[in-house]
Structure 1
Amino acid sequence: MIPAAIPTFALYGEDDWQNPVGFGHIETIASRSVLHDWAIAPHRHDRAVQLLLVHEGPAEVTLDGALFALTGPAFLIVPTGVVHGFRFAPHTRGHVLTLSQEFVRRAQGPTDALGALLTRGGHGRLQGAAAARTARLADELLGLGDAGIVGNALFDALAEALVRALIADDPVDDGPGDRRLAVFRHMVETHLAEHRPLTFYARSIGTTVRTLTRLTQRHLGHSPQTLINRRLALEAQRLLRYTGISASAVAAELGFADPSYFSRFYLRMTGKRPQEERA
């Protein structure tokens, strides 16, 4: 894993809280945001996926630098590692559900839309029946109290039902799946700053570079090297935008021995020089 220079929490603002494997937590929007003047500054979760449910009122969302608005009833799923922040109005009502990254294992195979939604994220409006069902399930989860925080079968079952209610309202078209792609993504995240050759990733999923390339082109629309480069550029962008470290320090953290080469790489991938992210 890349050292976290961006503020990273299990639960926002709680530096001393360590999230165990399989944890789950739910709270109302107001319970935490009122302590921060209704503004949750950009941060990320390195071992959790987060679901924001807005039942009523507005929410301003920052997601990896992109700014957009949600008006309830609506939802947002933030995958592990994505930098996000929120600003709410005092009258906004809703819930924030935080789930351990292991929760994605509840997906029933690679074609299950549950896995796609939690891994890739998404947001949208909630229609009448789905809005009522998700609000009711969120209230039931909240009613379990602290029992859910350490991983609880009933908590997990209700949380899964809530996520699946979102899918039923707005189905995810994930297309054909392949378990090897999930392993490839995991290996990229784990070894991102090591600049491993494609042969390393191909061996990790028990195949050849040619087959790996065929898989990523068919299912993801890009070569494996392009996907790795895009992930590197995204991580660099996060560090440049949300931390005070220099471009040369970002280059070193991401495994680039030559800051000039990093600058050219960043320009090629984003159309900007690293210094422009600070402008």
Structure 2
Amino acid sequence: MNDSDQSEWIPNIILGQDYDRRYLDALIHYDILENLAVFFGRDMPVHRHAQYLQIHYIDRGEIRFHIDDKIYHAQGPALLLTPPSVPHSFLTAQDACGHVLTIHQSIIWQLLKDGLQQQLESQLNHELSLQFKDLNEEESIHWSMLVQTLEAISREWNHDYPAKNLTLQTLVRLLLIQISRLSSRETTSTSVNNDDLQSFRQFSNLIQEHYHEHWQLSAYTSALGLSESRLHQICQRIANRSPKKIIHDRIIQESKRLLTFSNLSSSEICYKMGFSDPAYFSRFFKRNTGITTQRYRQQHI
């Protein structure tokens, strides 16, 4: 599937635009998993990061990860790599913690240009899942070095040391090399049926077009030519959530974005999101996030 096909149905998340605008044009973005989970939720719907490779390192806890048509089920310590623009979704356990590193593909291109194309290109151009428990003794040493590099990236990111950007890029390049050395230990995945995947993509596209209109589930199934039970099976298989939950997730994601990055009141956001009753919108938001809109805004301004 080419990039233009993906963009028709999969939200493209730009962390510097949708999460932390201090880093709008940054080639590298780092944060701990827990912070991103508070903003986006631990049950993250399908999305992509155009032009950005993303690395999830899970220090502990369980994660269920979908990368394109592959499903990975891992227990930390584990690492998952998603190539640029590839659709993915994931569900992390409440106790899961770790690092999330998002890297512009230009850094990878430069690394390949510097003479490592033959060694690294194939490893960094497809999804990758690694678990510490699968490694032998020598590979465990490389894993320890990889973890040290991630911790160094975290320290560098959170301090204004001299030559910060250069140091971050150097550490990221080292990390990518370390990951490639362990790529032969990739965790086995399961594949999704192509017809099911196509139906899920069509469903996602319809949600993107109509979530403001609050379509009933029957309207989606009618447009797709599927029964509700069949759509439920497909969504559980691919996204590990029900169709209604996927629809609600999209509404909540946009509501969070408006609460964080706009000056609209909660009532104005309510109407913008297609709700007619601010009180009902407030209850809907709290039921799906656990906190009120006011509290959420206070935490993210």
Q: How many Å apart are 1:15 and its aligned residue? A: 6.9
Per-residue CA deviation, residues 125-144 of structure 1 (Å, 9 max, x unaligned), is 23432332222111111112
More helix per residue: 2
Alpha-carbon distance change, 155 to 12 in structure 1, aligned in 2, over 3 angstroms: closer
Per-residue CA deviation, residues 12-53 of structure 1 (Å, 9 max, x unaligned), is 981785853x61011111111133442222110112111111
User: What is residue 148 of structure 2 aligned with on the other side?
Assistant: 136
Alpha-carbon distance change, 55 to 15 in structure 1, aligned in 2, over 3 angstroms: closer
User: What is residue 249 of structure 1 aligned with on the other side?
Assistant: none
Q: Which amino acid aligns with 2:125?
A: T
Q: 12, 15, 24: which is aligned to 1:11?
A: 15
Alpha-carbon distance change, 16 to 29 in structure 1, aligned in 2, over 3 angstroms: closer
Q: 32, 35, 54: which is aligned to 1:31?
A: 35
User: What is residue 131 of structure 2 aligned with on the other side?
Assistant: 125
User: What is residue 47 of structure 1 aligned with on the other side?
Assistant: 51
Whether 1:240 aligns to 2:202 is yes
Contact 2:69 2:197 in 1 (8 A): no
User: What is residue 77 of structure 1 aligned with on the other side?
Assistant: 81
Count residues with an aligned counterpart.
Answer: 191
Contact 1:10 1:47 in 2 (8 A): no
Q: 80, 90, 100: which is aligned to 1:86?
A: 90
Per-residue CA deviation, residues 128-172 of structure 1 (Å, 9 max, x unaligned), is 323322221111111122679xx9221111011112112223349
Contact 1:104 1:114 in 2 (8 A): no
Contact 1:77 1:117 in 2 (8 A): no
Per-residue CA deviation, residues 87-114 of structure 1 (Å, 9 max, x unaligned), is 1112212111100011221124474332
User: What is residue 119 of structure 2 aligned with on the other side?
Assistant: 113
Alpha-carbon distance change, 91 to 15 in structure 1, aligned in 2, over 3 angstroms: closer
Tell me the secondary structure at the aligned position of residue 15 of structure 2: coil
What stretches of structure 1 move > 6 A for 4+ residues in a row?
233-238
User: What is residue 256 of structure 1 aligned with on the other side?
Assistant: none
Alpha-carbon distance change, 5 to 134 in structure 1, aligned in 2, over 3 angstroms: same
Alpha-carbon distance change, 102 to 241 in structure 1, aligned in 2, over 3 angstroms: farther
Alpha-carbon distance change, 29 to 275 in structure 1, aligned in 2, over 3 angstroms: same
Over the aligned positions, Cα root-mean-square deviation in angstroms equals 3.6
Per-residue CA deviation, residues 155-205 of structure 1 (Å, 9 max, x unaligned), is 111011112112223349xxxxxxxxxxxxxxxxxxxxxxxxxxxxxxxxx
Question: Identity percentage over the alignment?
Answer: 18
Contact 1:55 1:135 in 2 (8 A): no
TM-score by length of 2: 0.53
Alpha-carbon distance change, 234 to 165 in structure 1, aligned in 2, over 3 angstroms: farther
Q: How many Å apart are 1:117 and its aligned residue? A: 2.2
C-alpha separation in 2, matches of 1:111 and 1:24 = 21
Alpha-carbon distance change, 234 to 120 in structure 1, aligned in 2, over 3 angstroms: farther
Q: Which amino acid aligns with 1:133?
A: M
Contact 1:83 1:238 in 2 (8 A): no
- Unaligned runs of 5+ residues in structure 2 are 186-194, 209-223, 235-301
